[in-house]
Structure 1
């Protein structure tokens, strides 16, 4: 298949309210054009969302400086292809990629941003923008979560902000991890993020010992939130991977059958649908940085039929991580390996891959970051590069045609995301030196890969 066909497939099916204008780019055209810088000096982890949104022909990105620890917002003009401005929400907050801000766009065109430290405090911070001006913000507000943090413990606070809605309840949810038991909890706002209330245990791990589920959330419908999670950290346990959906009151399987009501307590990991069975190992073999056959969540989207797609990684051994894709066909889960993810980003977190991104308008379109040949696993002795492919139901690792979007890079290209809205679609990632979650110097770069069709006058 020709390179331009693969890339044009990534541009199709925008699935937005406006009719998309599809441009057919060849790989040569894209790789000959330098990626656009959407944010200077910004980075993020992958367990807080939405990190970027599109609104009023603007791409709004949140990140945290790897140099100063500033909580940052960049606004990019998609019509005129330029950064309008960058502003600081919270100066010198902390250099830690776990602290990146996330967003919610209110009906009055004001943006809500929330962020928190990496488990150090029992608070989350938030600001609300001026209407239609995402570089002008009201003062910082602080929400105190109602629990007692041990004074002697560094941990015990909240981390990983995630903003999603249940429209029928008129609630904006903030899902986060609590450091006390390392489980997911939530608070909510009934007034569009002006104030917050509640404190509810959402997921509960069932692995003996002190373990922490890692969760990705997705807005499936205005009244349904998808939840994809592990039962522990792959450094400590041979993780399995699970799925459920949540409607504000109860949990459900992909086929719509009810699992349990939240009123009966948090969802225990093993009560959800099992997607991938990990090794369940508790002791690492010699020479392994994580547990063999341990899964980790990366991304989740739904297709036009609101069926979930889950992109995740599996650690086999040091410098041999694999990407997998699980999709609900309407009758069953179809799960398979799709690519070699290659090497870890640093030794201590040997399950940290370059990550992948699913197209929110067609999750069969996938971007991955890897430093090896995605099909064969051959080490290319270079940096992590971005590859694209469209993965059909009948595809497996050997039949997928991965096409390189970046080549011969000086620095790593990692942690891609794809953002869509109002006819636009943008692929972006972190590019630059990345040594550790508190040691990086990256910009957010990428390509605008879809634009709305111009209306006739």
Structure 2
């Protein structure tokens, strides 16, 4: 899909449904439209690109996300980057994902951003997690697959002194559990740690099933109540060109077939030295280790922006990264980020992971990968092109088929 940037704090930005690949993105130039591209995987052909909201601010934080509804149609949800208290949504035709129904809106008490859609079969509810109340993670639920929405709930509460925003990544087992990986703040403002908790039946739990609290009765989860997976530096703001010392940023989280969570995140050491780490729960303990050199920051004012690390949602041992250095040695690759993949066991570290390079465009950045699958079909997608800032970019979504690998 051409001219389609995305951030990484909203999901799923792409899905495969009925043999069609749907991709969401926001144009980094032109009219800045929020758009959906549709690709026919069997015919190996792009069916087209359609605009769901024109002039949507040239901001990759505003990317549409998707949910495949039981009747064959698809829901898309999207919001601006904390400039409105509205989330927008449309529902497609059942067999034509280039044609969408009338745009509808939901209004909230505070400005919102970062839509994340997860359906749990046990209660047949669709959850939308986003940044909302007090600049904190917030939740709203639909009981009719996104046709209407309920009342917003404060989901995670900041504990760092001042007005800070925990950054959150979500996953689910599709049945009854939402996995949550989050920080205490933005890594530029605070030496952030990485936390984990699970949300199930209205309750928060640790990875071993220990009960923490009930959302309705006890209020939103606080970082101090969750499991601290990685302890950040805890220091404060050092200027717009740096992140706080020893600050981590959550990148991806997935639950394996045994119900064990895995968290992929980046660790900031300096503007030119960042690392990728994975923390895996083995049923009795967390195994946290470094797995790759992440290279340099993407641009000056976001010192913790990396190319990203992502986990395969159906098999977290499949890992994909973007880096502008050799992931094993840290040696520069020539200035542009490239995509690598590997299989990583719980005990593997940077010293013994076998990274395989899968992008070979030395003139453009290859960043922000994700893994999308349906049945036996599995794709690695990423953004390729020019990236100057989150509001100044020209990126195309490209990918490779790794179904047989």
* Smaller-chain TM-score bracket: over 0.9
TM-superposed CA distance for 1:222, in Å, is: 1.6
Greater than 3 Å deviation, 4+ residue runs:
none
Match of 2:174 in 1: 221
TM-superposed CA distance for 1:82, in Å, is: 1.2
**Which structure 2 residue ranges, 5 or more long, are not aligned?**
none
Match of 1:59 in 2: 21
Question: Which of 99, 107, 124 is matched with 1:144 structurally?
Answer: 107
TM-superposed CA distance for 1:189, in Å, is: 1.2
| Distance 1:303-1:170 versus aligned 2 partners, 3 A rule | closer
Q: Is residue 414 from structure 1 mapped to residue 377 from structure 2 by the alignment?
A: no
TM-superposed CA distance for 1:170, in Å, is: 2.7
Match of 2:112 in 1: 158
Alignment map for 1:243-282 (pairs within 5 Å): 243-263=196-216, 264-282=218-236
Structure-1-length-normalised TM-score: 0.86
Measure the CA separation in 2 of the matches of 1:400 and 1:167: 36
Q: Is the 8 A contact 2:322 2:340 kept in 1?
A: yes
Match of 1:41 in 2: 3
Q: Is the 8 A contact 1:55 1:422 kept in 2?
A: no
Q: Is residue 50 from structure 1 mapped to residue 12 from structure 2 by the alignment?
A: yes
Root-mean-square deviation (CA, aligned residues, Å) is 1.5
Moved more, 86-95 or 325-334: 86-95
Question: Which of 68, 71, 91 is matched with 2:54 structurally?
Answer: 91
Alignment map for 1:41-190 (pairs within 5 Å): 41-67=3-29, 68-145=31-108, 147=109, 156-178=110-132, 181-190=134-143
Q: Is residue 428 from structure 1 mapped to residue 394 from structure 2 by the alignment?
A: no
Q: Is residue 330 from structure 1 mapped to residue 293 from structure 2 by the alignment?
A: no
Measure the CA separation in 1 of the matches of 2:6 and 2:334: 25
Task: Give a deviation string over 1:296-324, Cα, whole Å, max 9, x none.
Answer: 01011122212111110000111111000
Measure the CA separation in 2 of the matches of 1:230 and 1:84: 39
TM-superposed CA distance for 1:395, in Å, is: 1.4
Q: Is the 8 A contact 2:35 2:50 kept in 1?
A: yes
Larger Rg: 1
**Which structure 1 residue ranges, 5 or more long, are not aligned?**
1-38, 148-155, 453-457
Measure the CA separation in 1 of the matches of 2:245 and 2:273: 10
Residue aligned with 2:152, SS: strand
TM-superposed CA distance for 1:166, in Å, is: 3.1
Structure-2-length-normalised TM-score: 0.97
Measure the CA separation in 2 of the matches of 1:91 and 1:326: 40
Alignment map for 1:193-208 (pairs within 5 Å): 193-208=146-161
Q: Is the 8 A contact 2:293 2:329 kept in 1?
A: yes
Question: Which of 339, 345, 355 is matched with 2:292 structurally?
Answer: 339
